[in-house]
Structure 1
Amino acid sequence: MIERKIHTDISSALNRQAAVVIIGPRQVGKTTLAHKIGDQSNAVYLDLENPADRDKLSDALLFFKMHEERLVILDEIHHAPEIFQVMRGIIDEGRRKERGIGRFLILGSASIELLRQSSESLAGRVAYIDMYPLILSEISDVSMNTLWLRGGFPNSLLSKTDKDSYLIRQDFIRTYLERDIPMFGPRVPTETLRRLWIMLAHLQGSTLNVSRLAQNLDVSTTTVFRYIDLLVDLFLIRRLRPFHANVSKRLVKAPKVYVRDSGILHALLNIKTVDDLFSNPIVGASFEGFVIENIISILPYGIDPYFYRTQAGAEIDLILNISSTERWGIEIKRGSIAKPTKGFYYAQEDLKLTQSFVVYGGEDTYPIDKNTTALSLSSMLEKIASL
């Protein structure tokens, strides 16, 4: 079994907080990790998608009191949102008995509604942890190109063949369109959403133009915003915000859009093999999104990611405010030569970056100039992990 880096984060959170919520897309490995944690702590596990397990909570107060000495793991919590209020009472009673930590581990596949329900009922009693697909620093027996092609969902990544992996991802897309999205959001025509998802895949790494998408789909801009919000809430799409620096420049204000998992991106574009990927015009944007997701997944709390672009052509793919006195810029180049553009140096000067990096397709780490270092994705992840 692959050791997930957030395992330690979850264990630490359970040792300081009464409830911990793990949020992430379906099939990312939440249930597998929860079972591993449960086996180590003699926990009670309930899958609330299973009617038999939901029936056990017909009197949730009694059930929780029966197991007050054990961690209770609640999977697919969106099927029983009414129990949040019961959990609040149990947590408060436990605190009076000096049993105020490590009571509940909650798993959910939709962010906005789960966060709203849990934050309203469990304010001050809960920690939130995002679970991402597998990243490069978590795997050892799989090449970077395989991870990039197949993406980080475990079933896809660990498939015996590229064909099996591709079919698993096509099933994932179909399940989201036909079952999960209608469950979590307002009724959305499946074919319209499929077309939007594919359009966003073709726009990987581009600034978001909602008006053009609305025109192509023959729907209103309000509808497109609503559909994209839903895909964002389900961890399928990322909107990377522009960095608004205090500089006298005309800045790009629209976010950039990415299909978050590279494997899902490739399935949407019918890219089945590494050869297909390398011969496709999307390859550069795909690598950019792949690197960005790997980096964002291990950022310490409080470091938010941005991109920077001016209408004059200054641009850096990723900006990280490490502290009040330290700001990093990261440019991404798929090739074996790490050569920044002029726009990179213009942005470097605009933002007064303390450190600049070019993540490229090679393995060596070397200085490009006195302010800029070329390095591999693995080395970049090590540098961020040390923060």
Structure 2
Amino acid sequence: MGRVPLNFLVERRVSGLLRELVAVEPVIALHGPRSVGKSTVLSGFAARAGGSVVDLDDVEVREAVVGNLAAVVAGATPLCVDEYQRVPDILDAIKARLNREGSLAGTAVVTGSTRQDALPMTAQALTGRLHSLTIWPLSQGEIGGVREDLLEALKVDPAGTVKQVPTSSTTRAEYVQRVCAGGLPLALRRTPATRARWFDDFVRASVERDALELGRVRERQAMADLLAHLAAQTGQLLNVTKAAQAVGVSRPTVENHLRLLEDLFLLVQLPAWGRTLRSRVNAKPKVHVVDSGLAARLLRLNPDKLAGLDPSALTDFGHLLETFVIGEVRKQASWLNEAVALGHWRTSDGAEVDLVIEYDDGTVIGLEVKASERAPAAEFRGLAQLRDALGPRFAAGIILTTGRRSYTYADRLHVMPIDRLWTPVRPTTRS
């Protein structure tokens, strides 16, 4: 049986961050995948501010705006514009207003389903005066109505955090359900059967509409094939040459389509980290589908197929689980008050760490994701090597498992259940 469809409006953590940033930044741009909830966040912000939203996804509104850009941006602030990439010249109009009146905080909040620098006409607009926030799919904590704080707690007291977390009761089957559901709001509002059709429509719209609007793709089928191929590689090292061979196009075409899939927030590259630590560190990024539910659908995997314990099911679930966990951490990192760098670490002799989190002060935490219930000693190899290479900068290395127990294995090396990611260290629920 699948999870019950989401039937309520979820409060987004990014909404609070948006309200804080509007007090200091002239323009805020909310970017993220289509159907991730950008319009909902913007509408909620506008309602709080006593304003309205200029919806450029509406054809009539768009036509009216094109002929009256100066008048549209001259109104009361904050100006709220949804899907600005439909009329990218609106950013130039906002820039002209800022030039006249000064870069006043809270002048505008805009949303877009593509990265700003993916649109040539807007690449230079508002440089230095636009702060970009990414809205990722719903986190498990947002879905459950709790405030995740694991990354904050691990930074302050890793060993103490491991001791504080309770024993997990999440089963493997429940993890499979969460992974296959993902975090895209409109997908979560559907039953598993109708969710599959929604994901198919989501991909089709992204490839056939959004990609064509950027004007950078002619071979739609090649891009769709590339997305499917890279979904099968989610959580693995990116090999552009093999991808080109698999899809049957040139390497430059794959590189162009890969950038486009990233610009549309369908794929995310996790860069190699720590190349200055030793010469034998692999420089290739890993590739992840932006949402584990979308990845599962692209691979035609569902909970029934992943429930088995045969090698194929275990391998598929392992890769999807890594994408799921890294997605959850990426969401939490985007809400922190300090900048963090995310990457993976892999040496030529096979030692690896799935996710390295480097805080602004140089503190590092390493995470390994395992689809098994136990963490044998051999699994700590990569984390131990990273600990020894970094010395005091290394705060903790944690293997996240589908098991129940949290414990310390060795110096700064620990084991925790995966669901600790969305179990508050300091339990509080939003009212």
Inter-CA distance 179–55: structure 2 relative to 1 (3 Å threshold): closer
Instruction: After TM superposition, give the deviation of residue 117 of structure 1 in Å.
Output: 4.9
| Letter matched to residue 46 of structure 1 | V
Residue 315 in structure 1 maps to residue 319 in structure 2: no
Give the alignment's TM-score, normalised by structure 2: 0.81
Q: Give 2:330's aligned residue.
A: 296
Q: Give 2:242's aligned residue.
A: 212
Q: Give 1:103's aligned residue.
A: 107
Instruction: After TM superposition, give the deviation of residue 341 of structure 1 in Å.
Output: 4.3
Matches within 5 A, 1:213-228: 213-228=243-258
Inter-CA distance 39–363: structure 2 relative to 1 (3 Å threshold): farther
Instruction: After TM superposition, give the deviation of residue 118 of structure 1 in Å.
Output: 4.8
When the two chains are superposed, the root-mean-square deviation of aligned CA atoms in Å is 2.4
Moved more, 321-330 or 87-96: 87-96
Give the alignment's TM-score, normalised by structure 1: 0.90
Q: Distance in 1 between matches of 2:69 and 2:198?
A: 36
Q: Give 2:202's aligned residue.
A: 172
Q: Give 1:80's aligned residue.
A: 87
Q: Distance in 2 between matches of 1:88 and 1:48?
A: 18
| Letter matched to residue 286 of structure 1 | L
| Letter matched to residue 354 of structure 2 | D
Residue 50 in structure 1 maps to residue 58 in structure 2: yes
Matches within 5 A, 1:20-35: 20-35=28-43
Residue 121 in structure 1 maps to residue 125 in structure 2: yes
Instruction: After TM superposition, give the deviation of residue 120 of structure 1 in Å.
Output: 2.0
Q: Residue 406 of structure 2 is aligned with which of 361, 365, 376?
A: 365
Moved more, 372-381 or 40-49: 372-381
Instruction: After TM superposition, give the deviation of residue 19 of structure 1 in Å.
Output: 1.4
Q: Give 2:154's aligned residue.
A: none
Q: Distance in 2 between matches of 1:325 and 1:141?
A: 31
Q: Give 1:266's aligned residue.
A: 296
Q: Give 2:368's aligned residue.
A: 331
Q: Distance in 2 between matches of 1:334 and 1:252?
A: 24
Q: Give 2:305's aligned residue.
A: 276
Instruction: After TM superposition, give the deviation of residue 119 of structure 1 in Å.
Output: 5.7
Instruction: After TM superposition, give the deviation of residue 257 of structure 1 in Å.
Output: 1.1
Instruction: After TM superposition, give the deviation of residue 278 of structure 1 in Å.
Output: 3.2
Q: Give 1:348's aligned residue.
A: 387
Q: Secondary structure at the match of 1:297?
A: helix
Dislocated runs of 4+, deviation >6 Å: none
Instruction: After TM superposition, give the deviation of residue 116 of structure 1 in Å.
Output: 6.1
Instruction: After TM superposition, give the deviation of residue 92 of structure 1 in Å.
Output: 3.8
Q: Give 2:48's aligned residue.
A: 40
Q: Secondary structure at the match of 2:224?
A: helix
Instruction: After TM superposition, give the deviation of residue 172 of structure 1 in Å.
Output: 0.6
Q: Give 2:271's aligned residue.
A: 241
**Residue-by-residue CA offset, 1:289-341 (whole Å, 9 max, x unaligned):** 11001101221352111111111121111111124442111111122223324
Matches within 5 A, 1:151-162: 151-159=182-190, 161-162=191-192
Q: Secondary structure at the match of 1:298?
A: helix
Instruction: After TM superposition, give the deviation of residue 360 of structure 1 in Å.
Output: 1.6
**Residue-by-residue CA offset, 1:23-43 (whole Å, 9 max, x unaligned):** 001000001111111111121
Q: Secondary structure at the match of 2:144?
A: coil
Q: Give 1:231's aligned residue.
A: 261
The answer to whether the 8 A contact 2:89-2:122 is kept is no
Q: Distance in 1 between matches of 2:195 and 2:206?
A: 17
Moved more, 295-304 or 225-234: 295-304
**Residue-by-residue CA offset, 1:325-363 (whole Å, 9 max, x unaligned):** 421111111222233243443333234322111122234
Q: Distance in 2 between matches of 1:28 and 1:348?
A: 37
Q: Distance in 2 between matches of 1:84 and 1:175?
A: 25
Instruction: After TM superposition, give the deviation of residue 263 of structure 1 in Å.
Output: 0.8
Q: Give 2:319's aligned residue.
A: 285
Q: Secondary structure at the match of 1:123?
A: coil
Inter-CA distance 282–133: structure 2 relative to 1 (3 Å threshold): same
Gapped regions of structure 2 (runs ≥ 5): 1-8, 147-173, 427-431
The answer to whether the 8 A contact 2:118-2:214 is kept is no
Q: Distance in 2 between matches of 1:4 and 1:132?
A: 10
The answer to whether the 8 A contact 2:363-2:395 is kept is yes
Q: Give 2:13's aligned residue.
A: 5
| Letter matched to residue 249 of structure 2 | V
Q: Secondary structure at the match of 2:124?
A: helix
**Residue-by-residue CA offset, 1:166-223 (whole Å, 9 max, x unaligned):** 1111111111122111112412322212211111111121111111111222221111
The answer to whether the 8 A contact 1:185-1:230 is kept is no
The answer to whether the 8 A contact 1:203-1:257 is kept is yes
Inter-CA distance 72–112: structure 2 relative to 1 (3 Å threshold): closer
Return the structure number with greater relative CO, CA threshold 8 A, min gap 6. Answer: 2
